[in-house]
Amino acid sequence: MSDLDTVFNDTWPDDHRSGIVAVVGRPNVGKSTLINAILGQKIAIVTPKPQTTQRQQLGIYTVEHGQILFLDTPGLHTPHHKLGEFMVSVAEDALRDSDIILWVLDVSQAPEKADILLAERIRSLSGDTPVMLVLNKVDLLTEENREALVAAHQSLIPHEEAFLLSALNNADVDKLISNILERLPEGPRYYPADQISEVNMRFMAAEAVREKVMLNTEQEIPHTIAVEIESFKERSDNMTYISAVIYVERDSQKGIIIGKGGSMIKRIGSEARQEIAAAMGTKVFLDLRVKVLKNWRSDEKLMRRLGYRLPKNE
């Protein structure tokens, strides 16, 4: 038995399988939607806008004979600032450290040059790690384009298996899970069977606010915001007080988030509060403020202050 037994008093069968699955892909192909569908619960925010996921998140899927640790990575892209460099480095580290690489592709669109470049990057970083393809958004295919688009995506990279599914509709996810478990090595259960994520409620609350900002504001806003939880207090068994600051890079962005007469910040707060309350099972008082933090995405010191775990310079 592993020393982990003494940590959470759990047991597992001798043929138990476990390992890390890095979920990678271009921005906005459905990585977070897929992980939420697998876990049956929302742990990662989802918006139609690219680069929604900024940090690596862990999703824990446990059955009697196995435990899969899904790493939801930021979308691989060409970075234009320190935040972008951080996001790409997180995704690349996941490729190097995983037992399986799960490459999620939008099969409803023909592969682009960026997909070819990503295939090259995966090959250069993966070593002997098996690659499995998830051809997502299969529900958007037609009889006329289905065969050609599927073949085009499968030819991008040598792979163990390719799965056609719709993460949004939760279709054929069970088949994907069973195939992943068959390919993982025998190993212990690293987390209790009822745990589905390692994120705490403060992080979840900050992400809920960030998601609602992204869904409600103009195109220029989403990638320039960060959310910091200043206060998180349980005032009673049925009331949690949360104070959060939304940081932007310019005064004009602050005005957009606040909105005319405070209408936008009220809408963001109302939607985020409802989601946080549902996750926590208590009433929530959410106090939101907006501050300008110029060029925070290009300032390593400010990024560390906001919780991004950048490597320290030697």
Per-residue pLDDT tens digits of the chain, which is 314 residues long = 334 443 445 677 888 999 999 888 887 788 888 888 888 876 654 544 444 444 567 888 999 999 999 987 765 545 444 555 666 666 667 677 789 999 999 999 999 998 998 898 888 887 889 999 999 999 999 999 999 999 999 999 999 999 999 888 877 888 999 999 999 999 998 888 888 877 678 888 888 898 888 888 866 565 678 888 888 888 887 899 999 999 888 888 898 899 999 999 999 999 999 988 887 888 999 999 999 888 777 777 767 766 666 555 54
- Pair (218, 100) in one structural domain: no
Residue 142 located in a structural domain: yes
pLDDT at res. 111: 94
Tell me how far apart the alpha carbons of residues 78 and 76 are, in angstroms, rounded to a whole number: 7
| CA distance between the termini of the chain | 39
> Which residues, including other chains, have CB under 8 Å from residue 219's CB and lie 6 or more apart?
49
Listed residue (207, 103, 193) closest to 157, CA to CA: 103
Residue 196 located in a structural domain: no
pLDDT at res. 309: 61
- Pair (210, 175) in one structural domain: no
Final residue in a domain of this structure, among 183, 216, 250: 183
Can you read off the two tokens belonging to residue 293? 């933090």
Residue 158 located in a structural domain: yes
- Pair (256, 299) in one structural domain: yes
> Which structural domain range is residue 38 located in?
4-183
CA atoms in the 13 A half-sphere facing the CB of 287 = 9
- Pair (212, 139) in one structural domain: no
Q: Please name the residue ranges forming H helices in 155-262.
A: 173-183, 201-216, 251-258
What CATH number has the domain bearing residue 103?
3.40.50.300
| DSSP 8-state secondary structure symbol assigned to residue 227 | E
Final residue in a domain of this structure, among 183, 212, 227: 183
Tell me how far apart the alpha carbons of residues 93 and 88 are, in angstroms, rounded to a whole number: 9
Final residue in a domain of this structure, among 128, 154, 183: 183
- Pair (78, 213) in one structural domain: no
